Amino acid sequence: MTGYGLDMLRAKPEFLTNPTVKLSLPNGNIINLMRAYEMTKLFVEQTIMHYSLEDVGQDKIREWINKLVLIKNASLKKGDDILAGFCEDKLAESRKKWSRIL
């Protein structure tokens, strides 16, 4: 469907204005899944680049950066150069922003 494993989160309705893929469940219900690029962009904007160290602490910042590394590695395995490049750019920004704790 999306080409990636699912990470299910309940999203604010305005987040679903991003491009989505519709998934039909066996019971006939339909759910919207954000595409990998848009979800990753939202993830970065709402976590790593949004919060301060005082808001969430060092462990959470490191966790989010590690998750971005995992997304980049998955995108490389899938041959998704656009997502991998986005991740690399955001990792560079994140490492610069958080250099004092990494």
Distance CA(74)–CA(5), nearest Å, equals 9
Domain ranges of the chain: 35-97
pLDDT in tens, the chain (102 residues): 556 666 666 667 777 677 788 888 899 998 878 888 998 999 999 899 999 999 999 999 999 999 999 999 999 999 999 999 999 999 999 999 999 988
pTM, 2 dp: 0.81
Beta strands in 9-94 (DSSP E): 20-24, 30-34
